[in-house]
Amino acid sequence: MSSMPSNRRFAKLLVAVLFIGCCAISLIVPIYNHVEPRLFGIPFFYWFQFLWIIVTGMATALAYWLKV
């Protein structure tokens, strides 16, 4: 591991943090189990999780782009 250049190690760490963070937040239900604040009349529970698909998708795309 020590032979790995430090920017590769940083990329791996960043992706690990993002992946674990994205998964953890979608599993900690109390974070988003609310009606308010609404967005275009849609309760928080729904628009937050919709948004979270996009965030997790972007984290995966970043991992691909960083070649992790």
Partner 1 sequence: MQPAAVAVFLGLFVLVTVIGFFAARWRRGPLNKLEEWGLGGRRFGTVVTWFLLGGDLYTAYTFVAVPALVYGKGAIGFFAVPYTLLIFPLVYVVFTRLWSVAHRHGYITAADFVRGRFGSNWMAALVAITGILATMPYIALQLVGIEVVVAALGFPTHGWIGDMPLIIAFVVLAAYTYTSGLRAPALIAVVKDTLIYVTVIAAIVIIPLHMGGFGNIFDKIPQKMLTLAGPSHGSLGAMSAYATLALGSALALFLYPHAVTGLLSARSRNTIKRNMALLPLYSLALALIAGLGFMAYAAHLEHIPAYAEYFRHYGAQFAVPALFMHNFPAWFVGFAFAAVAIGALVPSAIMSIAAANLFTRNLWPQLMRRKLGESEEAQVAKIVSLVVKIGALAFILFIPNQFAIQFQLLGGIWIIQTLPSVVLGLYGRWFHGRALIAGWIAGMAVGTWMAATQGFHTSIYPLALGSLTVPGYAALYSVIANLAVCVAATWLLDRFKIARGHDETQSGDYSFETANETGTEGAMTVTE
b/e per residue 53-63 (b: at least 16 CB within 10 A): eeebeebeeeb
Q: Which residue among 9, 10, 17, 49 contacts partner 1 (CB under 8 A)?
A: 49
Single-letter amino acid, residue 14: L
- Binding to partner 1 by residue 22, rule CB under 8 A? yes
**CA-CA distance, 60 to 40, in Å (whole number)?**
28
- Binding to partner 1 by residue 11, rule CB under 8 A? no
Q: Which residues contact partner 1 (rule: CB under 8 A)?
A: 19, 22-23, 26-30, 33-35, 38, 40-43, 45-46, 49-50, 52-54, 56-57, 59-61, 63-65, 67
